[in-house]
Amino acid sequence: MSYIKIHQAKVADREAAKALCPFGAIAENAAGELEIGAGCRMCRICIRKGGGAFEFVDDATPGVDKSKWRGVAVVAEVGPDGALHPVGLELLGKARELAAKISHPVQALVIGAKTGEAVEKLLACGADEVYVYEDPAFEHFRIEPYANALQDFIEAVRPSSVLVGGTVNGRSLAPRVAARFRTGLTADCTVLDMSESTDLDQIRPAYGGNIMAHINTPKHRPQFATVRYKVFSAPPKGEPHGRVVRRSLAAEKLLSKIEVLSRTPKSAEKGIEEAEVLVVCGRGVKRPEDIAMLRELASLLGGEVASTRAVVEAGWLDAKRQIGLSGRTVKPKLIITCGVSGAIQFVAGMSGSETIVAINSDPKASIFKIAHVGLVGDLYAIVPELIARIKAKKEAK
């Protein structure tokens, strides 16, 4: 791993040297020497302005033999009732696309107490191999046995890349197992691509959404990435052609310090992720009472109202209706943004929408760069006109 070396004898002014780092990563240790801590972002400002006291050292340690790692694997999450989480099929569709570029197989991993239904769906959607760990111990998600199963799968199959759903369970499982293999993990990827070298190009917004980071793991395998629900599209069903491989763990590997005493399912509720039409409230909406106008438009179109982060932070709408990096990822057939500027954080959560209609008074707003239809003007004039026209068309029928 590359690092920055400090030549202590060349440090003329310790306080000035510490002030070079905008992240405060340079500090004195107990011996009175300067050292670089975990806050370092490798911006190399200290090297450029440190007068020779700081040196970038490129560790040329050879990486793994990539030829011994083959396949794009998907961790397909199932619930206690055996139902397959839809993000698993979305990842399978992307895995097929990535694997085709390097002629690798697509592998799916299913861990649970009931797996039959999930296995059938994965085979029908194009998995070449489905590895199954079925045991009553997997009825509820407990990190120790689940991590042991994923580790066992990786050691046996040696996939080049592992895709995990960005669910509550997936976000716990992926980093734990990645740490066991001392390899990289990129969370909440919005774009994935594959190079001829089998390096997975993992793209996600970084620094608060101000840049799109391209992340690679060229010297380690497997490569881990988590992806949220609704980022990719599920593949169509076809004729199953793959094979099923059943594996098991030793009894001690199924033990956990967590004991599930009872389980109370949450009442089913329809989130904005499932809506086919969304009307989004942005900063351009002046008062919370004006959201009623957007609700009316959404109701006429059979949709739901969603919002940007600013609206949620103002307390106007519930956080469950927020779209973006810190909210939900959606992919409706139609989304109408009202007074939304189009910051990267927001766009990352809705760019996959089939039809994007943007209403904004600023013709230079970023949202127009991705909109299929752009309406430049005051939303307080445009939205009522849309409502009136939709009502008139409904009455005419």
Q: Please indicate, yes or no, if residue 25 is contained in any of the structural domains.
A: yes
Q: Are residues 207 and 178 in the same domain?
A: yes
Q: What is the pTM of this model?
A: 0.81
Q: Is the pLDDT of residue 391 over 70?
A: yes
Q: Are residues 233 and 297 in the same domain?
A: no
Q: Are residues 366 and 250 in the same domain?
A: no
Q: Are residues 46 and 74 in the same domain?
A: no
Under a CB-based contact definition with an 8 Å cutoff, are residues 8 and 34 in contact?
A: yes
User: What does the pLDDT read at residue 45?
Assistant: 94
For the chain, the farthest-separated pair of C-alpha atoms sits apart, in whole angstroms, at 85
Average pLDDT, the chain: 94
At 263, list the tokens.
């389980």
CATH number of the domain where residue 305 is located: 3.40.50.1220
CA distances, 364 to each of 33, 89, 281, 340, 367 (Å): 51, 38, 19, 12, 9
329-363 pLDDT tens trace: 999 999 999 999 999 889 999 999 999 999 999 99
Q: Is the pLDDT of residue 121 over 80?
A: yes
Q: Please indicate, yes or no, if residue 42 is contained in any of the structural domains.
A: yes
Q: Please indicate, yes or no, if residue 261 is contained in any of the structural domains.
A: no
User: What does the pLDDT read at residue 60?
Assistant: 66
Band of residue 270 on the pLDDT scale cut at 50, 70, 90: confident
Q: Who has greater pLDDT, 344 or 377?
A: 377
Query: What's the mean pLDDT in 5-29?
Result: 94
Q: Are residues 285 and 250 in the same domain?
A: no
At 265, list the tokens.
């399912």
User: What does the pLDDT read at residue 378?
Assistant: 97
Q: Are residues 84 and 224 in the same domain?
A: yes
Q: Please indicate, yes or no, if residue 195 is contained in any of the structural domains.
A: yes
Q: Are residues 203 and 326 in the same domain?
A: no
The DSSP bridge partners found for residue 213 are 204
Band of residue 268 on the pLDDT scale cut at 50, 70, 90: confident
176-226 pLDDT tens trace: 999 999 999 999 999 999 999 999 999 998 877 778 899 999 999 999 999
Query: What's the mean pLDDT in 285-291?
Result: 96
Q: Are residues 41 and 132 in the same domain?
A: no
CA distances, 230 to each of 26, 189, 336 (Å): 41, 12, 18
Enclosing domain of residue 308: 272-396
Domain boundary among 226, 254, 282: 254
Q: Please indicate, yes or no, if residue 264 is contained in any of the structural domains.
A: no
Q: Are residues 16 and 74 in the same domain?
A: no
CATH number of the domain where residue 14 is located: 3.30.70
Under a CB-based contact definition with an 8 Å cutoff, are residues 222 and 200 in contact?
A: no
Q: Please indicate, yes or no, if residue 362 is contained in any of the structural domains.
A: yes
Looking at the structure of the chain, the number of domains it has is 3
Residue 301 CA to its chain's centroid (Å):
29
User: What does the pLDDT read at residue 1?
Assistant: 65
Most confident of the ranges 76-80, 268-272, 341-345? 76-80
Q: Who has greater pLDDT, 212 or 288?
A: 288
Query: What's the mean pLDDT in 235-242?
Result: 93
User: What does the pLDDT read at residue 334?
Assistant: 98
299-313 pLDDT tens trace: 999 999 999 999 999
Q: Are residues 119 and 237 in the same domain?
A: yes
Q: Are residues 198 and 92 in the same domain?
A: yes
Domain boundary among 193, 225, 254: 254
CA distances, 197 to each of 69, 126, 216 (Å): 11, 23, 11
Band of residue 104 on the pLDDT scale cut at 50, 70, 90: very high
Q: Are residues 215 and 309 in the same domain?
A: no
> Residue by residue, what is the 3-state secondary structure of 10-56?
HCCCHHHHHHCCCCCCEEECCCCCEEECCCCCCCCHHHHHCCCCEEE
Of 32-41, 110-119, 259-268, 332-341, which range is least confident? 259-268
Element containing residue 279 per DSSP (H, E): strand 277-281
